[in-house]
């Protein structure tokens, strides 16, 4: 017992500073959660109440304040019914977003692990040059390759179609980098043991490397989901002439200014899939970010 | 590790075709664009485009704003992430939950969060209430120069967790005996943070800083959502300039501006790459 008190630092008991940090970090976390909590809360407000509330914005009269609403006068699910069933615009955009995200994730699943495998477990001429290029492409802002990309997409005949958004994202350099980092760290003995048993490069990929990569695949998937679910620049440029194909991320703003009553319900629904992904993959995401360090 | 296996070229093919078509060809094509005049004859004009773009008022404005916005947000994220991860470390096994909460905004779509942001920063909103309670004047957060504050805060809110995770993993790698020895010698929290923690994680600290900075250059979504394609002057970023030039089909100007910007980013990247040299001895 005495030992335990003496080594409290190691056994999970907090020091005074630790307790202070606990309180501070706890408060900060509450602060960070506030925007999300209130988005969900306001999504249950009935139409009249939330419209009046949003109208009270932009009042420059210094004697007046906006109220802070904590609970609806009447709990309402009407606005959810509206956007999900009565008026299909929102749902259409939501489905567009889901379609893009699904297609991008699928494409990435086919391309990226294989490419990373080649870049990490093989030696061949030009490998390091390719990797270096991928690193550079990874950090450049989207706009750098935007205009010439359009020429390429036109030439391929996929400009203003869904493929213009999906295909380039399937080869996203960041995820090639991320998976390559993880695969390069897998001990060589694992593959060598396989090679002794006569495993070739392809079976080595499917039966040795891929199973070991499970955590990083989860991480890449979750991070890529966040990217695609939130993408703005690509559809804005590649689908400039196709309003009907735009995802929710681009159009949501317009909806929420035009239709104040469903804005919060829409926002809450929009956040929900991201929340699910977060809860299922949070540990993987952490592991993934840790790997995005250059080593 | 496979050596001299021809099959690697087959396996690499699909990935390379895509990267070539969608990234490398546009990247190189951009250089071509930026050196041509874009008329029907498409003459070679050398660096004329660069000269014109560099002298453009909107380009200068965008460059200045992008620079200043990143100057606000990158150091803020770096410092906050460092302090927070140091605090998280002292929480031991409670830290995981908090760290994950800090990471949550990273997955949230910015456009969905915007609405609540606009309410909070309204002239009669909760932020101004707080300001008045603390004895300050009310501020028109959503107009002119002050608009930078909500934008930078939204950006920090969203990206802080990423840096915290990077810092935290570096911090947990520090051997605990170092701290035990320091506290036996009577070193306080502050001394420990700056004499042990910071030197130990210097390579990571540098990387987080550069990453935060490079990413802060990409602030656009947040501004686009609040201000649209033509926001108030104080938040008109380089990306706005490029997108608007693009909409006007002035591809030469877009790519020229992009390349000038890219050079800046690459200088930072070179620093980051060089930091591997800083890193190597610490690892061995």
Task: State whether the Cα torsion A158-A163-A164-A167 is positive or negative.
Answer: negative
> Considering its fold, how many domains does chain A have in total?
1
Burial class (CB in 10 A: 0-12, 13-18, 19+), A212: middle
Please tell me which residue, A105 or B202, carries the higher pLDDT value: A105
Q: Is the pLDDT of residue B280 over 50?
A: no
pLDDT at residue A170, as a whole number: 92
Alpha-carbon distance B114 to nearest alpha carbon in chain A (angstroms) = 8
For the stretch A80-108, pLDDT in tens is 888 888 888 888 889 999 999 999 999 99
Is residue B180 situated within a structural domain?
Answer: yes
Please tell me which residue, B40 or A112, carries the higher pLDDT value: A112
Using a CB-CB distance cutoff of 8 angstroms, which residues of chain B are in contact with residue A147?
26, 30, 33, 246, 251, 254-255, 258
Q: Which of A85-94, B13-22, B26-35, B143-152 has the highest mean pLDDT?
A: B13-22
Question: A136: domain CATH number?
Answer: 1.10.3720.10
DSSP for residue A141? -
Percentage of chain A beyond pLDDT 90 is: 14
* Residue B262: half-sphere exposure toward Cβ, Cα within 13 Å: 24
Question: B152: domain CATH number?
Answer: 1.10.3720.10
Alpha-carbon distance A116 to nearest alpha carbon in chain B (angstroms) = 9
List, in order, residues 6 or more apart from A43 with CB less than 8 Å away. A79, A80, A264, A265, A267, A268, A269
Cβ within 8 Å, pair B115-A56:
no
Using a CB-CB distance cutoff of 8 angstroms, which residues of chain A are in contact with residue B94?
14, 22
The nearest alpha carbon in chain A to B160 belongs to: A32
- Put simply, the chain A residues between 76 and 95 with a CB less than 8 A from any chain B CB are none
Nearest to B111 among A145, A204, A252 (CB): A252
Q: Is the pLDDT of residue B72 over 70?
A: yes
Distance of CA A143 to the CA centre of its chain: 20
Is residue B9 situated within a structural domain?
Answer: no
Distance of CA A19 to the CA centre of its chain: 33
Res. B279 pLDDT band, cuts 50 70 90: very low
Res. A295 pLDDT band, cuts 50 70 90: low
Q: Is B29 on the interface with A (CB under 8 A)?
A: yes
Percentage of chain B beyond pLDDT 70 is: 94
Res. A115 pLDDT band, cuts 50 70 90: very high
Q: Are B37 and B48 in contact (CB under 8 A)?
A: yes
The pair of three-digit structure tokens given for residue A197, joined into one six-digit string: 């048993």
Is residue B187 situated within a structural domain?
Answer: yes
Alpha-carbon distance A73 to nearest alpha carbon in chain B (angstroms) = 19
For the stretch A217-248, pLDDT in tens is 888 888 899 889 988 888 888 888 888 888 88
- Pair type for strands B2-3 and A122-123: parallel
Annotate chain A with DSSP letters as a single string: -HHHHHTTTTTT---HHHHHHHHHHHHHHHHHHHHHHHHHHHTTS-HHHHHHHHHTTT---TT-------S-SS---HHHHIIIII-HHHHHHHHHHHHHHHHHHHHHHHHHHHHHHHHHHEE-TTHHHHHHHHHHHHHS-GGGTHHHHHHHHHHHT-TTSHHHHHHHHHT-HHHHHHHHHHHHTS-HHHHHHHHHTT--HHHIIIIIIHHHTHHHHHHHHHHHHHHHHT--HHHHHHTTT-GGG--HHHHHHHHHHH-HHHHHHHHHHHHHHHHHHHHHHHHHHHHHHHHTS--
Cβ within 8 Å, pair A9-B176:
yes
Helix (H, G, I), strand (E, B) or coil at A123: strand
* Stretch A265-284: mean pLDDT: 88
CA distance A232 to A189: 44
What is the predicted ipTM?
Answer: 0.84
Cβ within 8 Å, pair A140-B262:
yes
Q: Is the pLDDT of residue A8 over 70?
A: no
Q: Is A148 on the interface with B (CB under 8 A)?
A: yes
Nearest to B26 among A54, A64, A148 (CB): A148
Q: Which of B109, B108, B60 is nearest to B237 (CA)?
A: B60
Q: Is A236 on the interface with B (CB under 8 A)?
A: yes
The nearest alpha carbon in chain A to B110 belongs to: A230
Is residue A187 situated within a structural domain?
Answer: yes
CA distance B7 to B5: 5
Is residue B120 situated within a structural domain?
Answer: yes
The b-or-e profile of B214-235 (16+ CB within 10 A means b, else e) is bbbbbbbbbbbbbbeeebbebb
Q: Are B243 and A143 in contact (CB under 8 A)?
A: yes
Is residue B23 situated within a structural domain?
Answer: no
Cβ within 8 Å, pair A62-B138:
yes
Of B26, B83, B131, B140, which to mutate for an interface test with A (greatest number of A Cβ within 10 Å)? B26
Alpha-carbon distance B1 to nearest alpha carbon in chain A (angstroms) = 5
Res. A6 pLDDT band, cuts 50 70 90: very low
Q: Is the pLDDT of residue A3 over 50?
A: no
Is residue A131 situated within a structural domain?
Answer: yes
Res. B275 pLDDT band, cuts 50 70 90: low
* C-alpha distances out from residue B59 to A88, A135, B54, B239, B257, Å: 41, 27, 7, 10, 8
DSSP for residue B36? B
Q: Is A39 on the interface with B (CB under 8 A)?
A: yes
CA distance B236 to B89: 39
Percentage of chain A beyond pLDDT 70 is: 94
For the stretch B106-155, pLDDT in tens is 888 888 888 888 888 888 778 888 888 888 877 777 777 888 888 889 89
Q: Over the Cα atoms of chain B, what is R_g?
A: 23
Q: Is the pLDDT of residue A72 over 80?
A: no
Is residue B270 situated within a structural domain?
Answer: yes
CA distance B12 to A117: 9
The nearest alpha carbon in chain B to A135 belongs to: B269
- Supply the range of the domain harboring residue A159: 91-291
Using a CB-CB distance cutoff of 8 angstroms, which residues of chain A are in contact with residue B259?
144
Q: Which of A60, A48, A107 is nearest to A228 (CA)?
A: A107
Nearest to B255 among A148, A267, A285 (CB): A148
Helix (H, G, I), strand (E, B) or coil at A239: coil
Is residue B30 situated within a structural domain?
Answer: no
Is residue B32 situated within a structural domain?
Answer: no
Is residue A18 situated within a structural domain?
Answer: no
Is residue A2 situated within a structural domain?
Answer: no
Q: Are B34 and B50 in contact (CB under 8 A)?
A: yes
> Considering its fold, how many domains does chain B have in total?
1
pLDDT at residue A109, as a whole number: 93
For the stretch B227-257, pLDDT in tens is 777 888 888 888 888 888 888 888 888 888 8
pTM (2 d.p.): 0.86
Q: Is A238 on the interface with B (CB under 8 A)?
A: no
For the stretch A16-27, pLDDT in tens is 777 888 888 889
- Supply the range of the domain harboring residue B186: 55-283
The nearest alpha carbon in chain A to B120 belongs to: A35
Is residue A24 situated within a structural domain?
Answer: no
């Amino acid at each position: 017992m005495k030992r335990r008190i003496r080594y409290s630092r190691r056994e999970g008991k907090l020091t005074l500073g630790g307790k202070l940090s606990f309180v501070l970090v706890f408060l900060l976390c509450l602060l960070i959660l506030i925007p999300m909590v209130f988005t969900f809360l306001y999504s249950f407000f009935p139409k009249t109440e939330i419209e009046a509330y949003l109208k009270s914005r932009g009042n420059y009269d210094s004697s007046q304040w906006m109220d802070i609403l904590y609970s609806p006068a009447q709990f309402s699910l009407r606005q959810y019914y509206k956007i999900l069933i009565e008026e299909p615009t929102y749902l259409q955009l939501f489905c567009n977003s889901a379609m893009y995200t699904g297609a991008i994730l699928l494409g990435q699943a086919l391309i990226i692990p294989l490419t990373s495998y080649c870049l990490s477990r093989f030696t061949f001429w030009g490998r390091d040059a390719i990797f270096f290029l991928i690193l550079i492409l990874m950090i450049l802002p989207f706009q750098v390759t935007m205009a010439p990309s359009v020429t390429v997409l036109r030439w391929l005949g996929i400009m203003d179609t869904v493929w213009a958004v999906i295909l380039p994202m399937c080869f996203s350099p960041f995820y090639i980098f991320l998976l390559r980092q993880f695969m390069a760290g897998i001990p060589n003995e694992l593959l060598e043991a396989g090679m002794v048993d006569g495993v070739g490069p392809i079976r080595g990929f499917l039966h040795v490397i891929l199973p070991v990569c499970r955590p990083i695949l989860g991480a890449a998937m979750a991070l890529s989901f966040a990217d695609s679910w939130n993408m703005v620049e690509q559809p804005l440029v590649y689908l400039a002439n196709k309003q009907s194909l735009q995802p929710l991320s681009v159009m949501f703003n317009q909806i929420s200014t035009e239709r104040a009553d469903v804005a919060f319900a829409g926002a809450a629904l929009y956040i929900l899939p991201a929340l699910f992904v977060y809860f299922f993959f949070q540990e993987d995401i952490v592991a993934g970010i840790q790997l995005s360090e250059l080593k | 590790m496979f050596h001299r296996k021809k099959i690697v070229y087959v396996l690499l093919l699909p990935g390379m075709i895509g990267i070539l078509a969608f990234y490398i060809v546009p990247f190189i094509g951009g250089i071509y664009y930026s050196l041509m005049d874009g008329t029907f004859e498409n003459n070679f004009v050398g660096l004329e485009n660069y000269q014109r773009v560099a002298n453009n008022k909107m380009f200068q404005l965008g460059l200045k704003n992008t620079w200043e916005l990143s100057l606000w947000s990158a150091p803020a994220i770096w410092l906050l992430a460092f302090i927070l991860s140091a605090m998280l470390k002292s929480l031991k096994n409670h830290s995981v939950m908090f760290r994950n909460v800090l990471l949550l905004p990273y997955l949230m779509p910015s456009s969905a969060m915007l609405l609540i942001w606009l309410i909070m920063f309204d002239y009669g909103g909760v932020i101004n209430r707080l300001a008045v309670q603390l004895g300050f004047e009310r501020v028109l957060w959503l107009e002119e120069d002050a608009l930078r504050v909500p934008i930078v805060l939204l950006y920090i809110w969203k990206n802080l967790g990423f840096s915290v995770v990077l810092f935290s993993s570096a911090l947990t790698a520090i051997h605990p005996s170092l701290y035990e020895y320091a506290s036996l010698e009577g070193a306080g929290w502050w001394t420990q943070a700056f004499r042990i923690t910071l030197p130990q994680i210097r390579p990571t600290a540098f990387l987080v800083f550069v990453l935060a900075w490079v990413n802060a250059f990409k602030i656009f979504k947040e501004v686009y959502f609040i201000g649209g394609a033509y926001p108030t002057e104080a938040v008109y970023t380089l990306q706005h300039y490029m997108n608007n030039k693009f909409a006007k089909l002035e591809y030469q100007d877009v790519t020229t501006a992009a390349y000038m910007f890219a050079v800046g980013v690459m200088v930072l990247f070179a620093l980051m790459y060089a930091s591997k040299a800083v890193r190597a001895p610490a690892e061995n």
